[in-house]
Structure 1
């Protein structure tokens, strides 16, 4: 018969401190998000008095109404959705294609390519050379600036390559006997059996594309091509109430202030990824474990 071992006093104190510490960390992490959410649903004029910490004092949807009446935010949301979908599909396919070639042990110069790629993980050209390159490629104020510069990632290649090398060679040999070429093997055999790693890399890059504001801020001057995160950056950066209200044409009431619009915009721009992430979080953990063990 099993008997439960009672905890010593020191173990009980250690567990208690762990629980308290984790509770504090969770509170410090979650409360700022809750504070923004509560104030975004509060009347803007009333919120200026302060003292709102846990629940809206005067519940109001005027802030969100003002945000959604802005043509700019809907255009920015469309750009973000488009670049996330197109960029993720293109990145996953291109990186997987290169990784499949790198995973073949007979690749001529493969070790040299790996060495060159490894260097890029630690050193970059810098912002100014990158800007000049983007300009010379005529990608300024071009939707493709969200796609082409991040079409390939050597870090993602390593994850792909490790997974591809675990695929039994017998599958490819059988396909070659049946007359399949490299493209057929890659598209019809390698990709279908690699769904776990494809989903992982797609999630990695999709979250990056959704959260990226820097590309739109540096390389895009046309407001019609700026993503939602760059739009949020502009809204938060503007401190003048007149500037803020100019960004929200028509229908603005006295209950809406520049600060309340900022908070509502934060909620609108971050809500989609916040709702999706908990359902896909397991792929982040799985992605870091891919290739670490056989099976």
Structure 2
């Protein structure tokens, strides 16, 4: 089918707009990376834009030697890996029965879960529940409230509903039970939505901030997000970092140290995303076709 001149103009304008929008989002990240790798004098004089001036990695060395950023990175990885594993497990176990026509009360439980997307208990009741359960100062206080996202569960449920019923009928004729049906039929066909929800949960757990401040009292258990926020907001902490530098090292500006911390915070997700990106659009769209 031949496209009209108006359609060509629309596509051209659309591509230009999306390109400018992408550049506007990318330039600040490039600038932060350039600042973290630049010389202090160039940063103070405001010469750094998108390319480092006076290449050095002193800011990263001071971060590693003068702060608990490695321990915070380890804590973030533990929170994210364990949290994503638990959330995906319980999301699958919730979505599968709600997608089966044979499940009694399926409509009631689905509406009850959707209700939680509209109304919540609030911050204070949630804190009191976590306190009464004895989960304060443990990562379980982070994992439990975020265990199942109703939105993500509905996406997976809808994806399961789109799987042809003929596959299920054929599997049942071969004597396939519910657990084997889920493990050998549904999950292998659900890689796009599994990758998409893994990315959703990963971003959520990696960026946990308020829940860590509320429930974690031990600074040694802080994740990377909280540590970086403290560094950005606390000028005194940045000055203390410089006291840990060696005699022959170069003094770095607070801007370079803050930029390095932000880069370390963003880097893991930027590395993981390209591997899941090819499943992202397909998983999100197919899981939202029908309800």
The CA distance in 1 between the partners of 2:285 and 2:276, in whole Å, is 15
1:1-295 aligned within 5 A: 7=5, 18=14, 21-70=17-66, 72-176=68-172, 179-240=175-236, 243-247=237-241, 250-251=244-245, 253-291=249-287
Structure 2 alignment gaps of length 5 or more: none
What TM-score, normalized to structure 1? Answer: 0.85
1:186-228 CA-partner distances (Å, limit 9, x unpaired): 3343333333322221122112222222322222121222111
Relative distance call for 1:156 and 1:17 in structure 2 (3 A) is closer
* Cα distance in 2, alignment partners of residues 19 and 109 from structure 1: 47
1:171 to partner: Cα distance = 4.2
Q: CA RMSD, aligned part only?
A: 2.9
Question: Structure 1 residues 280 and 190, CA, compared in 2 at 3 Å: closer, same or farther?
Answer: closer
d(CA) in 2 for partners of 1:21, 1:179: 55
Please list every run of at least 4 consecutive aligned residues from structure 1 whose deviation after the TM superposition is greater than 6 angstroms: none
Instruction: Label 1:249 to 1:85 Cα distance change in 2 as closer, same or farther (>3 A).
Output: farther
**More off after superposition, 274-283 vs 222-231:** 274-283
Tell me the number of residue pairs that the alignment of Structure 1 and Structure 2 aligns. Answer: 288
Q: Alignment partner of 1:95: what SS?
A: helix
Unaligned runs of 5+ in 1: none
CA contact (8 A) 1:43 1:255 kept: no
The superposition leaves residues 57-102 of structure 1 with CA deviations (integer Å, 9 ceiling, x where unpaired) of: 3222110111122451111111111222111111111111111111
Q: Cα 1:255–1:199, aligned 2, differ >3 Å: closer, same or farther?
A: same
TM-score (norm 2): 0.86
